[in-house]
């Protein structure tokens, strides 16, 4: 059974999204992100401008757009379907849409939690 084009796009986008989400937002790599952030800030203080290596690692571990592009590039280079440029643009674009939706849902849930807490505190005062 061969994977069709749309199946390949969906599977690859989900893989890129999950890897990007793990790198940039998961709790399991929070310590690594904190270390990278500290080294990035320290290099800014010492040199007034962070070095290339510090900038790249900081972008990979903190920016979903940056890490999503590079992960899409690597995966599409290993498993091409329509040509590298098309593959990367399709997968990267869909990955970015997934991250925008995820960020929207996460922020709305935080706002809803805050409203529920405010309402429960008001009820306790009454």
Write down the pLDDT at residue 116: 77
Collapsed DSSP state (helix, strand, coil) of residue 48: coil
Residues 6+ positions from 36 with CB-CB distance below 8 Å = 57, 58, 61, 62
State the 10-residue block means of pLDDT for the chain, 126 residues long.
85 94 93 92 80 89 93 92 90 93 86 78 73
Distances (CA, A) of 84 to 67, 93, 95: 17, 14, 16
Distances (CA, A) of 109 to 24, 102, 106, 116, 126: 19, 11, 5, 10, 26
Write down the pLDDT at residue 96: 93
Write down the pLDDT at residue 80: 86
- Spatial separation of the C-alpha atoms in residues 95 and 105, rounded to whole Å: 15
Write down the pLDDT at residue 59: 92
- Spatial separation of the C-alpha atoms in residues 27 and 34, rounded to whole Å: 11
Write down the pLDDT at residue 91: 94
E-state strands within 5-124: none
Write down the pLDDT at residue 126: 65
- Spatial separation of the C-alpha atoms in residues 61 and 43, rounded to whole Å: 16
């Amino acid at each position: 059974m061969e994977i069709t084009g749309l199946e390949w796009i969906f599977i690859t986008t989900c893989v890129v999204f999950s890897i990007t989400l793990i790198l940039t937002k998961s709790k399991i790599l929070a310590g690594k992100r904190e270390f990278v952030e500290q080294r990035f800030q320290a290099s800014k203080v010492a040199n007034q401008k962070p070095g290339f290596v510090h900038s790249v690692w900081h972008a990979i571990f903190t920016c979903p757009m940056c890490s999503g592009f590079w992960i899409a590039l690597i995966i599409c280079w290993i498993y091409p379907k329509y040509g590298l440029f098309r593959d990367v643009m399709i997968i990267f674009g869909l990955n970015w849409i997934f991250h925008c939706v995820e960020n929207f849902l996460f922020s709305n849930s935080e706002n809803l939690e805050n409203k529920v807490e405010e309402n429960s505190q008001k009820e306790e005062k009454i």
